[in-house]
Amino acid sequence: MAAEMAYIGAGIAIGLTGLASGIAEKDVGAAAVGAITEDVSLFGKAMVLMVLPETIVIFGLVIAILSIMM
């Protein structure tokens, strides 16, 4: 039973963090594209902001792996 719960937990960890990353990136991405349209030199800074929320899902992945492995 514990093993099954661990798999469900891993799924939730990945799923919810993925969703969270998506929601965050949606807003950042829209604003970033707007900013780049105004001024192309902002690309670097926009990209940094754009990929910041991706870390959330990476954390989710780490937790998921740990919960399956342990």
Partner 1 sequence: MSLPESMSRVVIVGSKPRLEETVDALYEMGIVHLIDYTNDSDEGFAIGAPLPYSPKASERLLKIRAVEKDLGIKARKAKTPSMVLSDVKAEISSGNVEAVEKDVLQAIDKRNSIAQKITELDAIKSELKILEKLPLKLEDYSGYSSISVFVGTVKEDCSAALAAVPNTEVFVSAAVKNERPSIAVFVKNEDKAKVSAILSENNYIEAPVPAGEGAPADVLAKIEAEILENQNALEEAKAAIVGVSEKYKKQIVAYDEELTDEVRKGETPLRIATTEFSFVVDAWVPTAKVEMLEKGVKDLLGDGVYVEFQETRGRNLHESEHVAEKEGKRFEVPPSKWNNGPVAKRYQYATSLISVPKYQEIDPSIAMAIFFPLFFGFMIGDLAYAIPFICLGAYGLKHAKSKEFQAIGTVLFYGGIWAALFGFFFFGEMLGMHFVGHATETTMTWEALLGVHLPDWFAGIMVNGHGVSKLGADTITMLLKLTVYVGIVHLLVSYAIGFMNIKMQHGMKHAMQEKGGWFIMVIGVSALCFGLSGLMGIQTLNDTVALVGLIIGVVALVIGVVLAWPAEGIQAILEIPGIVGNILSYTRLAAIGMSKAGMALAFNYIALVMLGGFGPFGDGFSIGGFIAGALVFVIGHLMIWVLGILSAGLHALRLQYVESMNKFFVGGGVEYAPLKTSFKHIINKPENIETEA
Residues that bind partner 1 (CB under 8 A): 41, 43-45, 47-48, 51-52, 54-55, 58-59, 61-62, 65-66, 69-70
Residue 47 CB, shortest distance to partner 1, in Å, is 7
Which of 19, 65 has the CB closer to partner 1?
65
List b or e across 2-40, with b for residues whose CB sees 16 or more CB atoms inside 10 angstroms. Answer: eeeebeeebeebbeebeeebeebbeebbeebeeebeeee
Return d(Cα 63, Cα 17) in angstroms, integer: 10
Residue 23 or 65 with smaller CB distance to partner 1: 65
Smallest separation, CB 29 to partner 1 (Å): 12
Residue 1 or 40 with smaller CB distance to partner 1: 40
The number of CA neighbours under 13 Å toward the Cβ of 5 is 3
